[in-house]
């Protein structure tokens, strides 16, 4: 029996993780849940169904307590960080945004195995996270990084030539003019069902830029050896290319339950986690290079990662603010990356020093958000 803590239990990854756990009650036991509080009813329902003894919530704590008598309720903005430090077999960090960094560090510091779906932890504080993580303690949940993790088991690190992440290309891969994109259009992802921020990031390919930075830290591979390609079918999740010319691809249907289950049950594989590919059915898989003039976010993220210091955190924080402004119809779609780029350029001269701790990350993110809001005011509708 494996004790599991789930951070961000009401989001897409958290919900799917609980579905996996419900299907295997003999293998997993949920010992704590946390959520931001936007979907209190679901959190309460989850806690009752899985008989969870501890719940963390940022908002509406009194309502949670009223509905969960006998359950320890930890509340406030640091609730998920406290929950992450509960001793268990594996913590799944499924929080969206850089607020997931604190819980990531808390889980690692107490020695918990961390199944990481919060890519912003590594983008904003990669050097800090990797300096704390012990070998084997950090397991990736993103489908691309789970694919790379599996592919890298087939050779020595010195034998790796390139890592190649795949991107669906989002809803606009075949659209030339992005100046009139609406919120509804940007949220209509053709392959994946995700939260609004991740969906917008996928449409701008910011997500792929973040994943390149994440891959650099997870696998200690130079940025020059990490690429990305468009693969609309989202069946091949990533490639590992070796120096002998061999390329290993991890393929499975576009379903997050596979990588979630792999991280929760590692080093074992969980039977029936996701349907297998039907090899008896004809199919075509397409791959094409990214149009960097249409999707400049990937090059911008790579530049931030290569220069290092606080620039990846600035890139991510500015994007969070810009995406929120777009979702609230304050700026146009094409202005998202324009604002992120402008913030990066303004703060670059003072942001190349290594980040020492969570306070450093928070301070530079605050600066980025402030500058982003100022720039949004100048172009707001």
Per-residue pLDDT tens over the stretch 41-97: 999 999 999 999 999 999 999 999 999 999 999 999 999 999 999 999 999 999 988
Task: Measure Cα distances from 109 to 51, 113, 115, 128 in Å.
Answer: 27, 10, 14, 11
Residue 167 CA to residue 365 CA, distance in Å, equals 27
pLDDT of residue 97: 86
Task: Return the DSSP state at 333.
Answer: T
The pLDDT of 145-159, averaged and rounded, is: 96
Percent of the chain residues topping a pLDDT of 70: 100
Domains and CATH numbers, the chain: 2-140 (3.40.50.720)
Q: Evaluate if residue 354 carries a pLDDT over 90.
A: no
User: Is the sign of the CA dihedral 253, 117, 87, 153 positive or negative?
Assistant: positive
Count CB-CB contacts under 10 A for residue 200: 25
Per-residue pLDDT tens over the stretch 344-353: 999 998 887 8
Is the CB of residue 208 less than 8 Å from the CB of residue 228? Answer: yes
User: Is the sign of the CA dihedral 134, 139, 142, 148 positive or negative?
Assistant: positive
pLDDT of residue 83: 98
Residue 242 CA to residue 265 CA, distance in Å, equals 27
The pLDDT of 335-343, averaged and rounded, is: 97
Count CB-CB contacts under 10 A for residue 258: 23
Give me the long-range contacts of 186-189 (CB less than 8 A, separation at least 24): 186/326, 186/333
Alpha helices in 284-357 (DSSP H): 297-307, 311-327, 335-347
- What is the pairing mode between strands 226-230 and 288-289? antiparallel
């Amino acid at each position: 029996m494996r004790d599991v803590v789930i951070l961000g239990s009401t989001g897409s990854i958290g919900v799917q993780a609980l579905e996996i756990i419900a299907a295997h009650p003999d293998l997993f036991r949920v010992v704590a849940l946390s959520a931001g509080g936007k979907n209190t009813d679901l959190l309460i329902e989850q806690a009752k169904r899985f008989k969870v003894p501890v719940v963390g919530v940022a908002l509406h704590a009194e309502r949670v307590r009223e509905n969960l008598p006998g359950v320890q309720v930890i509340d406030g903005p640091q609730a998920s960080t406290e929950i992450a430090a509960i001793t268990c077999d594996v913590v799944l960090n499924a929080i969206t945004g850089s607020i997931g960094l604190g819980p990531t560090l808390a889980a690692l510091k107490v020695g918990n195995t961390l199944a990481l779906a919060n890519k912003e932890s590594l983008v904003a504080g990669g050097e800090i996270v990797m300096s704390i993580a012990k070998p084997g303690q950090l397991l990736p949940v993103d489908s691309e990084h789970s694919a790379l993790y599996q592919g890298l088991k087939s050779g020595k690190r010195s034998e790796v030539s390139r890592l190649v992440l795949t991107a669906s290309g989002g809803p606009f891969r075949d659209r030339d003019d992005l100046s009139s994109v609406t919120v509804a259009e940007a949220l209509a992802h053709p392959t994946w069902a995700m939260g609004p921020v991740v969906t917008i990031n996928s449409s701008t390919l910011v997500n792929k830029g973040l994943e390149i930075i994440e891959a650099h830290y997870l696998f200690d591979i130079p940025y020059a050896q990490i690429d990305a390609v468009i693969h609309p079918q989202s069946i091949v999740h990533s490639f590992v290319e070796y120096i002998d010319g061999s390329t290993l691809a991890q393929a499975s249907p576009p379903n997050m339950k596979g990588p979630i289950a792999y991280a929760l049950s590692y080093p074992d594989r969980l039977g029936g986690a996701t349907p297998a590919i039907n090899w008896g059915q004809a199919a075509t898989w397409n791959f094409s290079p990214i149009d960097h003039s249409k999707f400049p976010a990937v090059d911008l993220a790579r530049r931030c990662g290569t220069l290092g210091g606080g620039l990846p955190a600035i890139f991510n924080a500015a994007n969070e603010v810009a995406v929120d402004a777009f979702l609230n119809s304050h700026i146009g779609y094409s202005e998202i990356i324009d604002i992120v780029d402008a913030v990066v350029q303004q703060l670059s001269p003072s942001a190349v020093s290594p980040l020492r701790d969570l306070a450093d990350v928070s301070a530079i993110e605050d600066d980025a958000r402030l500058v982003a809001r100022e720039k949004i005011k100048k172009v707001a509708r």
